[in-house]
Amino acid sequence: MNFAQTSGWQVLPTKRKLVVSCVLGLFFLVIGIDLRAELGAGHNQKSNLKRDTTSTGNTAIWQPAAGVKWQIQLIDAVEDTTIDADIWDIDLFDNTAETITTLQGKGHKVICYFSAGTYENWRPDISKFDTADFGSNLDEWPGERWLNIKSSSVRTIMSSRLDMAQQKGCDGVDPDNIDAYGNQNGLGLTEADSVDFLTFLASEAHSRGMSIGLKNGGDIIGSVIDKMQWSVNEQCAEYNECEVYAAFTEVNKPVFHIEYSAETIGSDGSYDTSESATETTTDDEATVTATAAAIPASTSAAAAAATSTDADVTKICTDITTDTDTKAQDDENDENEEDEEDEEDEEEDEASAAATKKQKHRYGHGHHKLRTRAVLSSTLKRSACNAANADKFSTVIKNMNLDAWVEYC
């Protein structure tokens, strides 16, 4: 006798079939939710690792993290690329694409500096500017004037500079002098004008695949921080305003922070072996710092000896020796000081009379190479490196010329 083969499932009652189906359905639903959660967590983990870029429209823009080490050199072309800094801020006009490629080949990112808000009469593109866009002269910066940042002509010139930066391979740009609103600019420029100008510059830079930062401009941080990848600040420790710029580090964007030493440097293009002293007082503590500029390599270091009279002075760079062992030496320096100051005044007068449109940028007019640096006081270093609200800042101590010399915390 032949019986039809019947599966176990078929002989189950309908009610039991429904129960089994529900159990199996719930089982697979739970597995599906768990898999989706794991995939989502993995995606978020990968996203967190990609801190080096930020999305702007359809373009991935380089976004450095807070606390990264940097170097800034804005006088002359970069020659020494051995400084161990992750990021270099260098002059757009003075450096070639080859220099930028060399730095990048060593694992560095390169930010290219230019003045976006002022006319500088030594730049190669000065013929493009319309004098109708000129405002007041910048105090203490000969040959430099505020620009009408609302002008379409000015914006076209700045777009051309961004083209140059892109062609040279810059990873980002550092547009300076965007804060005319806080100065006697002669053009009636306001904070709103600066915000609009920075929005324009950010859009233009990002469209070329480059990052951009805010230079000073603490009053407008809240209006532009979402468009900026970093802040460059000068002297927030000195003016007790680092808290304002900490808005960047709070969202893991760098604050590239500069504090200046008390050093002064001649600008006549010659080697200067004179000595000068500047007194700096912090918390009732006076520190006398000695300054020495470069001497040729063949010159004996002893012939260019510099002195310092304060125990807080802790560091002096190459080729200069400090002798504070005897009071006799100090007295000798005091006697020579007046003569040296007279000579320096004469040199400054000659340099001023000889100034031309070929002078270097605002941070240092001259072509001399500076191999030695001022004595650095521990008071200044403590003030710069321990400023309130600046613990995540990328701090450097520089001289006013912003040449290759740098001191880190």
Comparing CA positions, the residue from 391, 162, 362, 73 lying closest to residue 255 is: 391
Asked if residue 230 belongs to a domain, the reply is yes
Give the pLDDT score at 39: 40
Give the pLDDT score at 25: 57
Q: What H or E segment, with its residue span, contains residue 31?
A: helix 14-49
164, 283, 322, 326 from 330: Cα distances, Å: 52, 25, 11, 7
Q: What H or E segment, with its residue span, contains residue 72?
A: strand 70-73
pLDDT one digit per residue (tens) for the chain, 409 residues: 443 444 454 545 555 655 456 456 555 554 454 544 444 444 433 333 335 666 556 569 999 999 999 999 999 999 999 999 999 999 999 999 999 999 999 999 999 999 999 999 999 999 999 999 999 999 889 999 999 999 999 999 999 999 999 999 999 999 999 999 999 999 999 999 999 999 999 999 999 999 999 999 999 999 999 999 999 999 999 999 999 999 999 999 999 999 999 654 444 433 332 333 222 222 333 333 333 333 333 333 333 333 343 434 344 334 434 444 444 455 555 555 555 555 555 555 444 444 433 333 333 333 233 334 445 678 889 999 999 999 999 999 999 999 999 999 9
Q: What H or E segment, with its residue span, contains residue 257?
A: strand 255-260
Asked if residue 307 belongs to a domain, the reply is no
Counting beta carbons within 10 angstroms of the beta carbon of residue 177, is it exposed (0 to 12), middle (13 to 18) or buried (19 or more)?
Answer: buried
Asked if residue 277 belongs to a domain, the reply is no
Asked if residue 110 belongs to a domain, the reply is yes
* Secondary structure letter of residue 138 according to DSSP: P
Comparing CA positions, the residue from 46, 66, 45, 63 lying closest to residue 54 is: 63
Helix, strand, coil content of the chain in percent (nearest 5)? 35, 20, 45
Give the pLDDT score at 377: 77
**In 227-377, which ranges are continuous DSSP H helix?**
242-249, 327-353
The full DSSP string for 118-133 is EEETTSTTGGG--GGG
Distance CA 398, CA 262 (A): 9
**In 50-181, which ranges are continuous DSSP H helix?**
97-105, 152-168
- Give the global pTM: 0.66
Cα separation of the two ends of the chain: 98
**Torsion angle of C-alpha atoms 76, 78, 82, 88, degrees rounded to 10:** 100
Contact 60, 386 (CB under 8 A): no
Q: Give me 35's structure tokens.
A: 């898999």
Asked if residue 264 belongs to a domain, the reply is no
CATH number at residue 74: 3.20.20.70
Comparing CA positions, the residue from 275, 321, 315, 329 lying closest to residue 302 is: 321
Which residues, including other chains, have CB under 8 Å from residue 128's CB and lie 6 or more apart? 157, 160
* Residue carrying the six token digits 């220099």: 99
Asked if residue 23 belongs to a domain, the reply is no
Give the pLDDT score at 378: 86
Range(s) of the domain holding residue 142: 56-234
Per DSSP bridges, beta strands 109-115 and 87-91 are parallel
Distance CA 213, CA 68 (A): 15
Domain count, the chain: 1
Contact 364, 227 (CB under 8 A): no
Asked if residue 50 belongs to a domain, the reply is no
Asked if residue 332 belongs to a domain, the reply is no
